[in-house]
Amino acid sequence: MSIKLPEIYTQQSIPSAVADSFEQITTAVHIERMGNGLINSTWKIAGADGSYILQKVNDQVFRDPFIIEHNLKKIAEHIRLHYPAYALPLPLKNREGKELLYVAGNGYFRMFHFLEDSVCNTVVNNSKQAFEAARQFAGFARRLNALDTKELGNPIEDFHNLTLRYQHFETAVTTAQPSRLMAAKELINFLQEHSGIVTQFQNMVKSGSMLLRPMHHDTKISNVLFDQQDRGLAVIDLDTVMPGYFISDLGDMIRTFTCTANEEETDFNKVTIREDFFEAIINGYLSEMKDILTASERNLLVYAGEFMIYMQCLRFATDYLENDRYYGAKYPDHNLNRALNQKKLLEELIQAKPVLEKIIEAVFQRIK
């Protein structure tokens, strides 16, 4: 059966096979594109009796989206059993009873309920939001902590494996076009000079001073839903939940919440660290995770930020050297600029380290 689509669907570039398969789309009254993710695409589908979120999973990045489906099942079972009141965003079934629809040559699609009156922020506007989001991601991690990581698959192999990310970068340095290599010379030197961050990661993994736990791995502000009073409601986008280290989640919040500008900013003077936002993240995160983190993990709160900013800098730099094949580019030096933005952020964090360590000490004094 093929349903003739009103123009709004095609304008919003939803493939007709997808529209046919979800009744929420065929009965929609309004459809709009949402979000600013680099990898997946999202639409808001408004119907007569409620709204929905349609998401396309990029199958170049998530090579086997059925691993996501498997993980969601395991997570849902665990949460239902131990925290039945906890709000978990799970995909809805389509007309064929499937939660994940594959459209050859296009990717994988899922539909979710849109939580009415919820607010999705793309920037952190105040420290309360930073606190609430950190508390939400930490509350999510705490509830999943007892789920055996062996139960979960890796939707993206070695996603936050800094050792392999660094090797990938060094390979890209040897294969890049001379013009790109030249333009990125200072950046490459910086990354090589700071490779101690990679060594520290390797030592901690080897010595077992960080534990593998189910982690979210995409703790940006738009993955937390808020109410109208800036209170956190729920964590969304569970595609990258997989075994990992807490520094991934805490670190990406430090990377994306404390900075005065986002990674697209090309005026690097605007890239600075907000210490009060850092404090809010630490407070929010520890309010849920303090008793779960081991003593050695508690010493890694600033390192978490270094780890994630360095890795993002490395990833953008690598992509620039590989002609933008992963992130794409809207203008010629886009990924170079993104990497330089992250370089500035890492410099700021390293400079602020003594102050940030003091903040952490004071928080621990207060909550112990």
Residue closer to Mg ion by CB (options 63, 270) is: 63
Which of 17, 39, 234, 350 binds ligand GN1 (CB under 6 A)? It is 39
37 binds ligand GN1 (CB under 6 A): yes
Residue closer to ligand GN1 by CB (options 36, 296) is: 36
Tell me how far apart the alpha carbons of residues 122 and 221 are, in angstroms, rounded to a whole number.
6
Minimum distance from residue 35 beta carbon to ligand GN1 (Å): 8
Find which of ligand GN1, Mg ion, none residue 46 binds, CB within 5 to 8 Å per kind: none
Binding residues among 301-330 for ligand GN1 as defined by CB under 6 A: 312
Binding residues among 260-289 for ligand GN1 as defined by CB under 6 A: 263
Minimum distance from residue 295 beta carbon to ligand GN1 (Å): 29
Minimum distance from residue 221 beta carbon to ligand GN1 (Å): 11
Q: Are 312 and 263 in contact (CB under 8 A)?
A: yes
Find which of Mg ion, ligand GN1, none residue 5 binds, CB within 5 to 8 Å per kind: none
Minimum distance from residue 37 beta carbon to Mg ion (Å): 6
Tokens of 147: 């789920």
Tell me how far apart the alpha carbons of residues 166 and 149 are, in angstroms, rounded to a whole number.
25
Please give the single-letter amino acid code of residue 164: L
Neighbouring residues of 185: CB distance < 8 A, sequence distance ≥ 6: none
Which of 3, 29, 38, 362 binds ligand GN1 (CB under 6 A)? It is 38
Q: Are 76 and 90 in contact (CB under 8 A)?
A: yes
90 binds ligand GN1 (CB under 6 A): no
Neighbouring residues of 64: CB distance < 8 A, sequence distance ≥ 6: 155
Find which of Mg ion, ligand GN1, none residue 341 binds, CB within 5 to 8 Å per kind: none
Minimum distance from residue 294 beta carbon to ligand GN1 (Å): 25
Residue closer to ligand GN1 by CB (options 28, 254) is: 254
Spell out the long-range contacts of 99-102 with Cβ–Cβ below 8 A and sequence spacing 24 or more.
99/69, 99/72, 100/57, 100/65, 100/66, 100/68, 100/69, 101/18, 101/21, 101/22, 102/65
b/e 54-87 (16+ beta carbons within 10 angstroms → b): bbbbbbebbeebebbbebbebbeebbeeeeeeee
Tell me how far apart the alpha carbons of residues 262 and 260 are, in angstroms, rounded to a whole number.
7
Residue closer to Mg ion by CB (options 218, 322) is: 218
Tokens of 97: 């009873």
Q: How far apart are the first and last CA of the chain?
A: 63
Tell me how far apart the alpha carbons of residues 123 and 129 are, in angstroms, rounded to a whole number.
10
In DSSP terms, 232 is beta-bridged to 226
Residues forming contacts to Mg ion in the complex (CB under 5 A) are 218, 237
Binding mask 244-263 vs ligand GN1 (x if CB under 6 A, - otherwise)? -------------------x
Find which of Mg ion, ligand GN1, none residue 38 binds, CB within 5 to 8 Å per kind: ligand GN1
Residue closer to ligand GN1 by CB (options 248, 283) is: 248
Residue closer to ligand GN1 by CB (options 42, 127) is: 42
218 binds ligand GN1 (CB under 6 A): yes
Q: Which stretches of the chain bind ligand GN1, using CB under 6 A?
A: 37-40, 61, 156, 218, 263, 312
